[in-house]
Chains A and B, each alone.
Chain A
Amino acid sequence: MTARAPASAATKGTMTSTRTTATRHRALLGSGAVLLLAATAACTSVDGGGGSTSATSGGSALETLQDRGTITVGFAGEAPYSYEDGGELTGATVALHREIFAELGIDTVEGVNTEFGSLIPGLTANRFDAVSAGMSILPDRCAQAAFSEPEFMYTTAFMTPEGNPDGLTDMQSAADAGITLATMTGAIEGDYARQLGIDNLEVGTPQDGLDAVVAGRADAFALTGISLNHLADSTDAPVEVTESFVAEIDGVPQIGAGGTVFRTSDTDLLEAYNEKLAEIVADEDRYLDIVGEFGFTAAERPVEGLTTEKLCEGDLDALATELAPELGSDS
């Protein structure tokens, strides 16, 4: 049957082989079945990832979250918007979220750390229920996800080696200098670079951008002024941050504002969130109370008349004219 029966000790093996092979095959079958079961469970699991929800048919995400008492948000470790400090999730957007969700009856905010570029896909895949990264509200993105009303206005800045050797002041100067600019994958600064024809190196996280400048693989790193200042403060690396500016493409100031992102299907959650957000934004003191400790100032508070709808439409020229009076006093 199997190889010819050999010397004594091995015969013992063949003698008991039938029973042990049978047990082994049963074990293999059993583990195979378990694996299959686990796979189907994982596949159809509604509670995928870090305990995120998917609205049950007819039910609402808001109610599910309120019952749970916890919401899971995605963040990209971009200080000071949302990052981990000593294992604790913190940051300006996180503080805002904690305040707003608490008012909605959701007491705990947990985070899933991921690359910036994975935030929206992760949201779609139900790995988290909201994106807490102060994401820029852009027309392309509005088609894929539901933005809250603006939470911050932001300006762009460059992180350069100490002394700013290329003399960078704004996007046009970067284009003129012919430098290699590092930007985060999925972030707006990459779009600016591409539109102006600047040589673009994409990185996954703010830390990678810093590393790229320090290592000399990029001449500068473009990100929001607030993030870069925070990043520069937290490291000894020989870098500095330029003055913040509003990026201008073809003479049109790229007014930028960021918000929280929800799935397009979670409409009730979005509405409830916007309601509470409006209360906070309207009250300058309360706004600064929440986000002030992270380095945000009155300049970042969204101005009256700046709405997600207008930003999604994308007519920045008209927007700039319309908001000129408010922006004049703010910037």
Chain B
Amino acid sequence: MNDVWSWQRAAEALPPILEGFRITLLATVVGTAIAAVLGLLVALVRRSRSRWVTAPVGLAVEFVRSTPLLVQLVFVYLMLPSVPALVVGCVVLGVHYATYMSEVYRAGIDAVPRGQWEAAKALDLPRTRVWRAVVLPQAIRKTLPGLGNYAISMFKETPYLFAISVVEMFTAAQQFGGRTFVYTEALTMVGLLFLLASYPTSLLVRRLENRLA
């Protein structure tokens, strides 16, 4: 076998990995957007007073949350052959993380002081106005750090997309390794790229959390 690390191979591996990084970012952004919106919807629905609504939704949320993202991805990919793989990836990531986000929203909504609800009622504001203008703005401020952290989590889970042939950063490294039979440089660089991208971001989120607290 040749030496353990070859800078030449590393240089060859870098272009496909950077290509893949674009896809990684795209999947993360779209997935987070879906999770943010869907999570809020789920949180609102779960506040319903009817058990016919909350029970099935609650069960579905628990089911998606407790089962592997990897298996969910492959499942949807196989069941929907006409949907492009990247779309499947973004949507499944979004739905999976929406279940986590719904908890964050729930905590955020619950944290809005009772006084706000009472004052809104005293001012005889219509329900939608109460939500739109009073509760949600306060609730969402509290959820931003949570959203940020889950976005970072999702970023680190995009490699699962290798299982549905989406060539994001990690898959690019795997394919390079598959061709050349040497994975060392490619995988190490991908690992470092993840670290370089996620660590500063998590520091930023922590700073945000402190500012909003």
Interface set of A (CB-CB < 8 Å, partner B): 116-117, 120-121, 124, 140-141, 143-145, 185-186, 190-191, 201-203, 211, 214-217, 264
Contact = CB atoms under 8 A, between A and B. Distances in A.
B85 interface: yes
B182 A144 contact: yes
A202 B20 CA distance: 14
Contact of B81 (A117, A202, A203, A217): A217
Given A215-B81, A217-B81, A264 B178 contact: no
Most chain A C-beta atoms within 10 Å of own C-beta, residue among B78, B174, B175, B178? B178
Which applies to chain A's interface (DSSP): helix, strand, loop or mixed? Answer: helix
B148 interface: no
Contacts of B177: 117, 121
Nearest to B85: A217
B6 to A, nearest CB: 11
B182 A190 contact: no
B179 A216 contact: no
Contact of A201 (B1, B165, B180): B165
A214 B181 CA distance: 29
B82 interface: yes
B2 interface: yes
Contacts of B179: 140, 185-186, 190-191
Contacts of B180: 140, 144
A264 B165 CA distance: 32
A145 B82 CA distance: 40
A194 B70 CA distance: 28
Given A143-B2, A264-B1, A117 B165 contact: no
Interface in B35-75: none
Nearest to B79: A215
A144 B1 contact: yes
Interface of B: 1-2, 78, 81-82, 85, 165, 174-175, 177-183
A117 B1 contact: no
For the complex of A and B, the 5 pairs showing the least CB-CB separation, nearest first, are A215-B81, A117-B178, A185-B178, A120-B181, A186-B178
Given A117-B174, A216-B81, A217-B85, A186 B181 contact: yes
B4 to A, nearest CB: 12
A124 B178 contact: no
A121 B81 contact: no
A214 B82 CA distance: 11
Contacts of A145: 181
Contacts of B181: 120-121, 140-141, 144-145, 186
A302 to B, nearest CB: 23
A211 B178 CA distance: 21
A211 B74 CA distance: 13
Nearest to A202: B175
Contacts of A186: 178-179, 181
Nearest to B84: A217
13 contacts: A116-B178, A117-B178, A124-B1, A144-B180, A185-B179, A186-B178, A190-B179, A201-B165, A203-B165, A211-B78, A215-B81, A215-B82, A216-B81
A216 B82 contact: yes
B161 to A, nearest CB: 13
Given A186-B179, A216-B82, 9 more contacts: A120-B181, A121-B181, A121-B183, A144-B180, A185-B178, A185-B179, A186-B178, A191-B179, A215-B78
Contacts of B175: 185, 202
Contacts of B174: 117, 185
Most chain A C-beta atoms within 10 Å of own C-beta, residue among B82, B177, B181, B183? B181
Contacts of B165: 201-203, 217
A270 to B, nearest CB: 15
A261 to B, nearest CB: 10
Contacts of A191: 179
Nearest to B167: A202
Contacts of B81: 214-217
Nearest to A120: B181
Contacts of A203: 165
A190 B167 CA distance: 15
A178 to B, nearest CB: 17
A21 B150 CA distance: 37
Nearest to A119: B181
A124 B174 CA distance: 16
A209 to B, nearest CB: 11
A117 B179 CA distance: 8
Nearest to A140: B180
A201 B86 CA distance: 13
A264 B85 CA distance: 39
A105 B1 CA distance: 28
Contacts of A202: 165, 175, 178
Nearest to A263: B1
A203 B77 CA distance: 13
A49 B1 CA distance: 21
